[in-house]
Structure 1
Amino acid sequence: MQATTDTGSTPEFLDAFDIQEIPDIPIAAGSITAVVLAYNELLRFPHFLDHHRKAGVSLFLVIDNGSTDGSAEYLDAQLDVVRFPSSRSYKEFKSHWRHLIADQYLQGHWVMFPDVDELMVYPGWPEKPLTALTSFWRKQGVQGVFSTMVDMYPEAPLSGVQYSSGTPFLSLCSYFDRVGYRLLPLSKYTERNFPTPPFQLYGGARERLFPVHGKRKASKFDVWLEQFMFAPNAGSRPRFLQRLARKFLKASWPKDSASMGKMPLLLWSSEFRFAGGVHRLNQVLNIADDWVALLHFKYLDDFAERTIEATKRAQHANNSGHYRHYVEHMDEIVSKGALYSKSVRFSAVSNLEDAGLMRTSAPLKQWMASDPASAQRSK
């Protein structure tokens, strides 16, 4: 459905979207609404929508940033999708769009902020609906849930991949890196301005496949020390040892590494503001002890084409600097693939928990075990 219904208007909202009137969109109590930014994602939309519908998302509010691949027509035909077309600059409006939509419709409601190449999985997936968990979290006073970003890739080189729209992403891209992540405390600047989540996650397949070396190349000892001290499942380490390890390892870390964590599931408040993307928030929130995961499916057979297009559009952070770096290493992943000795085939969310990339707290485990019927009801 395209947004057209009139309930009044505000100049700021109408200035951000190519619409004449603000639509009236009722939001059901206890429901989960996804707010999605998209540009030419027709290839991925069918499975993206199918996955999240099955997970419990009841409504998709899609900002369509000038798609030319038939996405508009496809989305307008979906009964649970409202499309907000916009010709504004993605680089300048990506946060503003999300804030406007969430402030207009989703105050006090659960909202998910996934990209179209991401699938959210969570404790109990796929048997339990996400609405059961959000009901549990609300009762616990939780305002938001942290998510790792887990790059998924195929067993074969990308040159041998042929994805058909609607096919489950995991049927082609089922592998991920089980090691190579580092969970770090915040810098003073970040803690002061965007304190949630109270840590930073880096590394994973993206950093391995598209390396940017620090002042010195990481040695085997560096790799061991990093994992011993800062792996997401490393456990608690004394702070003074962490400080010493960070000081020693800092020269081996990339200066501009991509963040591999997000805050994509929030009980929305109009006080919330993102720092650019949905990686960080400006408020101190009560976040769940549980972690979910966004399985990230960048590496399909359109990877090279979309990467080159992204560099030309220059709408991503640092004038799409990460995408320009992808182009430099494109030939290797296309011809050789991403699989290596520490790749793991995803078969269940327990694979992510074993790697420290998803967490299920004791209270949530107890709740799911003691009241399984409640996990089959959307509240």
Structure 2
Amino acid sequence: MGRELPPPRIRSVESLSDAVASPDSFGKLMMRGVDVDRLIQREHSAVVLENACQKARDLGDLRWVVRTSQRLADVTGLPSHRLELARCLVWATDFTAADAALPDEIEDASARAARAALDCQIALGLRDHDRAQRAIQDCVDAGGDAMQLRIRLVSALLSWGDIDGAEKTLDGVIAATGPNPALAALQVRLALCRDGPADALRLLESASAHLPPSSEGYRALKLALLNERGRYNEAVDLAAEWLKETPLAVSLYPQAVHAAQHCDRVIELGRIFEEIDTKYPSVPEVVDVLCNHAIDQGDAPLKARLLQEIRERSSWTWMIMQFGEACQNPQTADVDGFLRMIEDDGVSFAGPRVLYALFNYYFYPDAAGLARAKAEVDRLIPGGMDDSGLIALHLRLLIALDRDDEACAFFRTLPRGMAATAVLAPFEMYFMSREGRDAEARAGWNRYLVETAHIALNARSSYPDEIVLRDNPEPNDILAFITVFNGIEYVEWFLDYYRKLGIGRFYFCDNGSTDGTFEYLQAQPDVCLFRNAGSFAASACGVFWINHLMRRFGTGHWCLHLDMDEALVFPGMEGGRSLHDLTRYLDSRGFQATGGLMVDIYPDVLATDPDANPFESSQFIDTDYVWMRNELPPYHFVKGGVRARLTGRSLLMTKSPLVKMSDDTAFIANNHQHTHLRMADVTVALLHYKFIGAFRDRVREAVDRQEHFQGARFYRVLEASVGQKEKLHELTSTESVRYSSTLTLLNNHMLKSSVFWETFALQPSSDANTL
């Protein structure tokens, strides 16, 4: 039996020369407690600094490339070292610092073209068009190839929103040099901004001579255009096919992720990246995209492994990943301090600033939070006029800040093609609605659903099978539409509640229940029952099924789109006003929908007496709900509630469950949002009885099924917060109040009535009960 060998000794690192000689990266040395920054600042040898810079460059760690280049330029003052520092700072997108580092003169004739090229890139980063033009001419005069600089200029003009300038410059380059793949790609990008994604896709298909369909450039561009058109499922399908063929086509990764996030296929795409990582370990782009996926999904073991690997090779990437995680966990992280820290360290990329703006919009949408978000976007928008997502965030912030006129004026300045992208087109309908142009807004949404092949009507699913179909409802019946899976704890309460409210017919789509729900519903005389046991996620979380049923059976009726754990309440219901009174009022005023919010209602502690009525035990609500205007109908965004408090996550609490159904109406995100309808001056609320009965078992079931939004990632966070069965988890806090009636909501500004509704004359005898 052999003697066990001792572990290898870790070599002491006392100088930068030692750090260069070490087999460990600078990032790993930092993990060992070696202050590499201090070693760099103490170093005076140009040779050692050059070797350190080369080691960092070989690893691709831009932070250490910049640090060593900065010290080298300080030590020698040589123009060549200052030129190299400027180049590194351009890579880091710190154009102001790069401008300061750029030497005024270069004696070496062979380096003059390189200096001119850097001068051009810096000018473009600083949005100085005239300087960029002069630098291009300097490059030509120095004998350099200015083709790439002219391509950069066209790209910059597009990002500044100068479509005419970009087109003129591009035409000139093509006339002088002839077409090539890079110029063909720019022509397609120009067509996107000028004419829209559909035209850009057609141009891409006609450019096969220079952008072959098998090339990575073509494929990345096609995925980007499909995303701009809103064809997210199609983009994911193509990305999956192409990544199987060429797994390391890394330029496809960002667009594939974007598409998967918008059509709820992140779990599927995550598995593809896991397979690629297994086959090709330690590829930086694969590790980065998989780490982001692990952070989004709360996969702690995978996240920890990948973050360590990233830290060893790229310090700034590691910081940005950590910042992204902090933005998802504001209860345990100082996000503001984190952003200041990474910016002080030299991170100048746009990504963290966009993430910070999104964080404030979704987590802190008060005046101060929205102002912080807008300040970051204001820094980026002048150079991001070809970024539809950034433009949408800019508009969304203006609308949330009640600056509609400014938002509308900005929107009108956008090129026609950019305004037609999937993320920006809804703003057109929003401004129409604000101007009272309801018919145009409605028609615009119809076109939008067709153009985007929206998953609400084109999901990767089938229509539900008809199980039980009752007699046709009466003309004035209010109908309820529900998707259900294993709702036996709720079904009796739910039907009793809504029968008393006056619902004439229930249309259930069962998603393959195994707990007796399906059989119970079959026996109910006022239930029409349908079934689809396929993927809930693939059906857009049931929206595809419900839209089909509502268009088939609900047209001409007032309809409720509900979940099994929701109880509708509205102003005046305790005072003798029925749901039928409300719909008659809505008809009399020409309203077509009522917006509102979902209010989590809960017991004081999660573990309750099994003999107690769980619905009666749920008596508390939070009062911290925040409202702000939004571009999607019902034109407001609501966040807050006990689940947000427990998990630290931002949840969409917007609801608009009651609509006058027509054959062109569609819900686009559960019962949160729908196509344009004329919104009422009265709001409603859905009391959300989530925390009843076998709550923890239902959460675990949701986690295991992975059928809820984004792979049930919120349920994983919720389970981590309150999932331990052995704990008696207290749910109430200083934000809690006891719910007694709709007056509780009205007094806390969570429900809105109107004088017209309050004085609306009721019929002598109501045809439905009140609760």
Q: Please give the TM-score of this superposition, normalised by the length of structure 2.
A: 0.38
Secondary structure of 2:507 counterpart: strand
Name the structure 2 match of 1:128.
Answer: 577
Mapped to 2, the partners of 1:78 and 1:207 lie a distance apart of 36
Mapped to 1, the partners of 2:611 and 2:722 lie a distance apart of 18
> Deviations for 1:214-256, whole angstroms, at most 9, x for unmatched residues?
xxxxxxxxxxxxxxxxxxxxxxxxxxxxxxxxxxxxxxxxxxx
Q: Which amino acid aligns with 1:324?
A: R
Secondary structure of 1:275 counterpart: strand
Does 1:175 find its partner at 2:565?
A: no
More helix by share: 2
Distance 1:287 1:374, change over 3 A: farther
Between 324-333 and 257-266, report the one with greater CA deviation. Answer: 324-333
Mapped to 2, the partners of 1:173 and 1:318 lie a distance apart of 28
Name the structure 2 match of 1:231.
Answer: none
Does 1:199 find its partner at 2:606?
A: no
Mapped to 2, the partners of 1:108 and 1:263 lie a distance apart of 18
Please state how far the C-alpha of 1:185 moved relative to its aligned partner: 2.4
Contact kept, 8 Å, 1:161 with 1:300, in 2: the verdict is: no
2:597 is matched with which residue: 143, 148, 152? 148
Name the structure 1 match of 2:646.
Answer: 209
Please state how far the C-alpha of 1:281 moved relative to its aligned partner: 1.4
Name the structure 2 match of 1:327.
Answer: 719
Q: Which amino acid aligns with 1:305?
A: D
| Structure 2 segments unaligned to the other structure (5+ residues) | 1-458
Contact kept, 8 Å, 1:30 with 1:135, in 2: the verdict is: no
How do 1:92-107 residues align onto structure 2 when only pairs under 5 Å count? 92-93=538-539, 94-107=542-555
> Deviations for 1:329-360, whole angstroms, at most 9, x for unmatched residues?
01589523211123111111101101111111
Does 1:41 find its partner at 2:496?
A: no
2:766 is matched with which residue: 360, 367, 376? 376
Mapped to 2, the partners of 1:163 and 1:293 lie a distance apart of 28
Please state how far the C-alpha of 1:377 moved relative to its aligned partner: 3.6
Higher relative contact order (CA 8 A, sep 6+): 1
| Structure 1 segments unaligned to the other structure (5+ residues) | 1-11, 213-256
Q: Which amino acid aligns with 1:47?
A: W
Q: Which amino acid aligns with 2:566?
A: E
**Structure 1 stretches of at least 4 aligned residues deviating more than 6 Å after TM superposition:** none
Does 1:301 find its partner at 2:301?
A: no
Secondary structure of 2:683 counterpart: strand
Mapped to 2, the partners of 1:91 and 1:161 lie a distance apart of 34
Mapped to 2, the partners of 1:23 and 1:60 lie a distance apart of 10
Name the structure 2 match of 1:116.
Answer: 564
Mapped to 1, the partners of 2:665 and 2:561 lie a distance apart of 13
Mapped to 1, the partners of 2:611 and 2:749 lie a distance apart of 29
Does 1:359 find its partner at 2:752?
A: yes
Contact kept, 8 Å, 2:521 with 2:529, in 1: the verdict is: yes
Secondary structure of 2:590 counterpart: coil
Does 1:159 find its partner at 2:592?
A: no
Secondary structure of 2:668 counterpart: coil
Name the structure 1 match of 2:655.
Answer: 262
Mapped to 2, the partners of 1:336 and 1:73 lie a distance apart of 34
> Deviations for 1:190-219, whole angstroms, at most 9, x for unmatched residues?
x2xxx311110111222111114xxxxxxx
Contact kept, 8 Å, 1:143 with 1:267, in 2: the verdict is: yes
> Deviations for 1:129-153, whole angstroms, at most 9, x for unmatched residues?
2011101101110110112100001
Mapped to 1, the partners of 2:554 and 2:747 lie a distance apart of 34
Mapped to 1, the partners of 2:764 and 2:538 lie a distance apart of 42
Please state how far the C-alpha of 1:15 moved relative to its aligned partner: 4.2
1:317 is matched with which residue: 698, 704, 709? 709
Does 1:31 find its partner at 2:477?
A: yes
Distance 1:19 1:106, change over 3 A: closer
Please state how far the C-alpha of 1:99 moved relative to its aligned partner: 0.9
Name the structure 1 match of 2:679.
Answer: 287
Contact kept, 8 Å, 1:163 with 1:172, in 2: the verdict is: no
Mapped to 1, the partners of 2:523 and 2:611 lie a distance apart of 23
Mapped to 2, the partners of 1:315 and 1:350 lie a distance apart of 36
> Deviations for 1:58-109, whole angstroms, at most 9, x for unmatched residues?
1110111101111112111111111112112111221111111011111111
2:530 is matched with which residue: 40, 64, 84? 84
Distance 1:345 1:312, change over 3 A: same
Mapped to 2, the partners of 1:359 and 1:276 lie a distance apart of 23
> Deviations for 1:302-329, whole angstroms, at most 9, x for unmatched residues?
1110001101111111111111110110
Mapped to 2, the partners of 1:56 and 1:24 lie a distance apart of 17
Alpha-carbon RMSD across the aligned residues, in angstroms, is 2.3
More strand by share: 1
Number of matched residues? 306
Q: Which amino acid aligns with 1:18?
A: D
Distance 1:125 1:375, change over 3 A: farther
Q: Once the two structures are aligned, what percentage of the paired residues are identical?
A: 29
Mapped to 2, the partners of 1:163 and 1:279 lie a distance apart of 34
Distance 1:374 1:364, change over 3 A: farther
Mapped to 2, the partners of 1:360 and 1:202 lie a distance apart of 20
Secondary structure of 1:326 counterpart: helix
Mapped to 1, the partners of 2:552 and 2:693 lie a distance apart of 37
Between 198-207 and 32-41, report the one with greater CA deviation. Answer: 198-207
Distance 1:105 1:372, change over 3 A: closer
Q: Which amino acid aligns with 1:268?
A: M
Mapped to 1, the partners of 2:614 and 2:475 lie a distance apart of 30
Name the structure 2 match of 1:228.
Answer: none
Q: Which amino acid aligns with 1:298?
A: K
